[in-house]
Structure 1
Amino acid sequence: MIVINCFNDYKSLEGKMIGVSGWHEINQDQIDRFAGATLDDQWIHVNKDRAEKESPFKSTIAHGYLTLALIPYLWKQIAEVRNVKMEINYGIENLRFGQAVPVNSEVRLQATVKSVTNLKGTVKAVVEAKLLIKNQIKPAYTGDVVFLYHFIE
């Protein structure tokens, strides 16, 4: 795990792939709970029998937004950002979903620090997030996650 204590620590990582998280299995219970929380109960996510018969994936698949919602959890396995009084998830840029994540797949996050900028005391970090699927070549998605940090001075 990478430890980041300040702007200069973050800046030194610019342009580097800094690591990957552990594997996380997305099971049907997690998909169903996400469907309930977001009111997105489309059959390709929650109806196992219909998905086996009608879906090109032959199983249910995780919501794309569920896989995105895993970023904070998986990111914290890659980097520990210390001495922060506030951290803001500012956005995701250039996001592309590459392929669906079938139920019971294992995924992990690969992170590359693309840029780090000091905006008058607020540190803006752009991290390329690539969600890898175990035993698959193509990632589930790739996008640039933008974090804002207010470090303790």
Structure 2
Amino acid sequence: MRELQGLAELEPLIGAELGVSRWHSVEQDRIQGFADATGDHQWIHVDPERAASGPFGRPVAHGYLTLSMIPFFAKEVYRVNGLKMIVNYGLNKVRFPSPIPAGSRVRSRLTLVSVTPAAQGSQVVIRHEIELEHGTRPACVAETVSLLVG
């Protein structure tokens, strides 16, 4: 994990890779739990028997489940010490180029896109490329926008 001492150490890293998280399994029980929490019980996610004859050959994770894992990945990769709080401000350029089949492993590669001064701190944009183990294309590419308050 990369540890930075305040916002001043973050800005020089614009354009640099911050790091890569560990591999994490996306099992069917996680997919089912996400479906239960969100009410999205589409068969391609929660019906293994029907999904076996569907377009992906088995159940796949929800795109929004993939997005919801981003804070978890980020905590493994970097930390900025001395902050009062971090506020999720939004997302840019979200795409899901490849599905995540149940039982697959994923990780995130983080790149710092920008650090912009804001009234209460700095607005930080980080590109997350969520890689699928043995995949040829990323499962998700998204830019998170966060407000870091020092």
Query: How far 1:6 moved relative to its partner?
Result: 1.5
CA distance in 2, matches of 1:83, 1:132: 30
TM-score, length of structure 1 as denominator length: 0.95
2:95 matches 1:92 = no
Checking the alignment, whether the CA contact within 8 Å between 1:7 and 1:118 is kept in structure 2 is no
Partner SS for 1:22? coil
Paired amino acid for 1:20: V
Identity %: 37
1:106-121 superposed matches below 5 A: 106-121=105-120
Report deviation, 1:4: 2.0
Distance in structure 1 (CA, Å) of the matches to 2:75 and 2:136: 24
CA RMSD of aligned residues (A): 0.9
CA contact (8 A) 1:101 1:133 kept: yes
Q: How does 1:1-153 map to 2 (within 5 A)?
A: 1-53=1-53, 55-151=54-150
Q: Report how far residue 120 of structure 1 moved.
A: 3.3
**CA shift at 1:88, angstroms?**
0.6
User: Counterpart amino acid of 1:110?
Assistant: R
Letter in 1 for 2:143: D
Number of residue pairs the alignment of both structures matches: 150
Provide the C-alpha distance between the structure 1 equivalents of 2:98 and 2:52, rounded to a whole number of angstroms: 18
Tell me the distance in 2 between the aligned counterparts of 1:122 and 1:34.
33
The answer on whether the counterparts of 1:131 and 1:140 sit within 8 Å (CA) in structure 2 is yes
Query: Structure 2 regions of 5+ residues with no counterpart?
Result: none
Contact 2:7-2:80 at 8 Å conserved across structures = no
When the two structures are superposed, what TM-score results if normalisation uses the length of structure 2?
A: 0.97
Q: Is the 8 A contact 2:32 2:45 kept in 1?
A: yes
Superimposed CA distance per residue, residues 3-52 of structure 1 (whole angstroms, 9 cap, x where no aligned partner): 12212111011110111000010000000000000000000000000000
Show structure 1 runs of 4+ deviating over 6 A.
none
Which amino acid is 1:87 matched to?
I
The unaligned stretches of length 5 or more in structure 1 are none
TM-aligned CA deviation for residue 121 of structure 1: 4.0
